A and B are shown apart, each in its own frame.
Chain A
Amino acid sequence: MRAFDYVRASDISTALQEVGLPETRFLAGGTTLLDLMKCGVERPARLVDISHLQGLNDITVSAQQIHIGASAKMSHVAAHTQIQSQAPVLSEALWRAASAQLRNMASIGGNLLQRTRCTYFRDPAAYPECNKRNPGSGCAALNGINRNHAVLGGSDACIAVYPGDLAVALVAFDANVLIRGATDRQVTADDFYRLPGIRPDIEHDLSTGEMIVGVEVPVVPALKRSHYLKVRDRASYEFAAASAAVGVEFEDDGHTIKDVRIALGGVGTKPWRAREVEHALIGKPFTEKVLRDAARHAVDGAQAREHNGFKIVLAPRVVARALMTVGGLA
């Protein structure tokens, strides 16, 4: 690992000043950054430890919105009783991610910036070519072992899958990412993540000198009736083969779909909002056939590579099953 200077920031403004220096990265939980520094993927010269900043770990739930501070730990948010009751999809996406130890370490802000688990990306010694690490160098995954690579949102430069769970739920429910830098701003979770295109090294909307300070989720009726279904190769402590964050609100008849939210994980280069499925379901009766017919649109435009075609079959089933679970059909 490259040697680095370690500084501990005492407040946000100091942290923002410190991170403006060259080759400097914020250190929060460290579960992604330190791991990638050991792999040789990340090589910062300075780390600014922001894990001790005060006032950034608040969790508040009101009738209008849920606010989660960027320093809040994944485990604490998952176990928050109001989050569990008012927004089950957020709690479920969190406790089904990683392990108990990692969730005690990882912050919400850091979780949003978690980088792909593409094995080629993570192994610079064996695979010098990676457009995400080194733009223009090529992509070993395109013709490599790509069982766990994206079928949605990929490009000829990169098919690395976005690995996280929480962001899938945030995208489904129109959450905003709160950012502080030279000015305060916010961006929707959907717009926060970029498609790889020809520059897969640019993964998100955050600029140098900016810090995520929190996320805000608007409270809608579908949030209370929500669920995160994660299908994977083993029962726990594994990334998604395909996952779905869903929520539904019924008309007064208890059967007609008034509002529905769907986003997919484990299949796209970014958290994947399934708006076509949502549009196909609004106003329809909530039956298994209606759900399965609509869910097929979840993979509109999908492109399979040699080993990941199963995701195109799996993803619509995950969407349908997740919806059936929240709607009382499963």
Chain B
Amino acid sequence: MADRNRVQLTINGEHRALELDSRTTLLDAIREHASLTGTKKGCDQGQCGACTVHVDGERVLSCLTLAAQVEGRNVTTIEGLAQADGTLHAVQAAFVEFDAFQCGYCTPGQIMSAVACIREGHTGSDDAIREYMSGNICRCGAYPHIVTAVRTAAARLQEGKA
């Protein structure tokens, strides 16, 4: 079949050869073929941010990315954030500490987005955090705690660098 392709993906540093229909999104490849179910499918049309992952270190929506498009690029999912010994990333720890979620479904996307937001330098004020985190919708409305967690994690990561 012409529409079936062998796609080599690098997810969290691990190389995977997958047989995928050309229509397979990066989101479905991650969840259904690589069995990494931390990345969530919310709207599946680029509006909610639940599927946020990093491609070559930049946050993107995996639901609007074809798996074939990222062959040769480095994909990072929520499973790739913590250290090998289980130590959480500073953003993950801050989300736990400040209770920055309720149902938790948007949380992996929120955290992936927040890690990138901090790296981009868009955490100078709460308004900046709200603006640059606006692509991640939380139906439970945990936004005040999310902003606190992002602001705190950003400050701690900054201290760590200094």
Residues of A with Cβ closer than 8 Å to B? 1, 3-6, 8, 27, 30-31, 34-35, 38-39, 47, 49, 51, 75, 79, 98-102, 104-105, 235-237
Distance from A279 Cβ to chain B, minimum over Cβ atoms (Å): 36
Instruction: Give CA–CA (A13, B106) in the complex, Å.
Output: 42
Residues of B with Cβ closer than 8 Å to A? 2-3, 5, 21-23, 25, 44-46, 49, 52, 58-61, 64-66, 68-69, 113, 116-117, 120, 122, 130-136
Query: Are B60 and A101 touching (Cβ within 8 A)?
Result: yes
Give the residue of A35, A49, A98, A236 whose beta carbon is less than 8 angstroms from that of B68: A49
Residues on B with C-beta less than 8 A from A49 are 66, 68-69
Query: Are B66 and A101 touching (Cβ within 8 A)?
Result: no
Known A34-B66, A237-B135; contact A101-B22, beta-carbon cutoff 8 A = no
Distance from B75 Cβ to chain A, minimum over Cβ atoms (Å): 13
Known A31-B64, A99-B135; contact A51-B69, beta-carbon cutoff 8 A = yes
Known A5-B3, A6-B22; contact A100-B64, beta-carbon cutoff 8 A = no
Query: Are A102 and B3 touching (Cβ within 8 A)?
Result: no
Residues on B with C-beta less than 8 A from A31 are 46, 61, 64
Query: Are B120 and A100 touching (Cβ within 8 A)?
Result: yes
Give the residue of A4, A30, A75, A104 whose beta carbon is less than 8 angstroms from that of B3: A4
Distance from B27 Cβ to chain A, minimum over Cβ atoms (Å): 11
Instruction: Give CA–CA (A105, B113) in the complex, Å.
Output: 14
Query: Are A35 and B59 touching (Cβ within 8 A)?
Result: no
Known A51-B69, A100-B59; contact A34-B64, beta-carbon cutoff 8 A = yes
Known A3-B21, A30-B64, A236-B134; contact A101-B3, beta-carbon cutoff 8 A = no
